[in-house]
Amino acid sequence: MAYYPVMLDIEGKRCLVVGGGKVACRKIKSLLECGGKVTVISDKICDEVGELSKENKIDVIHRSYISGDAAGYFLVVAACDDARINELVANEAKESGILVNVADNLKLSSYIVPSVLRRQDLTIAVATGGKSPLLARKIREELEKTIGDRYEKLLDELSKARGEIKHQNLTIEEKIEIYENIIEKGEKI
């Protein structure tokens, strides 16, 4: 199976996480970073998930998943310790056309979560097709060491240039040449 890489706008959208442990917590934080409205269903939660709840960053329903709980959510993450519940969540989500990610089970997932580096508007996602999230994280950490502020400034310059030449009667090749010149100058800084 191959996953089509795409960035989803989840700002303000309802996201369900089934599970309250450390893996679920990583997924919760990722969803919160992107503005998702996160609800957690789990009979047990780790301290960090508890803190997020106390800070009113997430809603927690303290019980096990019940069939039908996924209804009405934009996307679902199944990350509990019980493989049967994860499978139930995945199957119900898929039947309802809801995007679902199951921790450590690619076959049940309709999307995977990459390791993400963010620098303002610059986002770099690293994925290994779910084969090794640890390797994806290591690669992201290496990229973090090399990606500095100059790329944020370069991105702003390219965006400005794009707006300026958008409606000019230039060929694609001429536009690309302008962008490449800006990139060359920016990389020398």
State the pLDDT at residue 70.
Answer: 96
State the pLDDT at residue 189.
Answer: 56
Q: Domain count of the chain?
A: 2
Give the residue among 125, 136, 127, 151 at the shortest CA–CA distance from 7.
Answer: 125
**DSSP strand pairing (75-78 vs 14-18):** parallel
**Tens-digit pLDDT profile for residues 65-95:** 999 999 999 999 999 999 999 999 999 999 9
**Tens-digit pLDDT profile for residues 7-48:** 899 999 999 999 999 999 999 999 999 999 999 999 999 999
Relative orientation angle of helices 149-165 and 172-187, to the nearest 10 degrees: 150
Residue 132, in any domain of the structure: no
Highest mean pLDDT among 5-9, 19-23, 119-123, 130-134: 19-23
Is 126's pLDDT higher than 80? yes
Residue 8, in any domain of the structure: no
Residue 25, in any domain of the structure: yes
Which has more confidence, 48 or 114?
48
pTM for the model? 0.81
Residue 85, in any domain of the structure: yes
Contacts of 115 (CB under 8 A, 6+ apart): 125, 126, 127, 133, 136, 137, 139, 140
Least confident window among 43-47, 127-131, 170-174: 127-131
Residue 141, in any domain of the structure: no
Residue 5, in any domain of the structure: no
Residue 57, in any domain of the structure: yes
Q: What is the residue range of 68's domain?
A: 14-113
State the pLDDT at residue 160.
Answer: 92
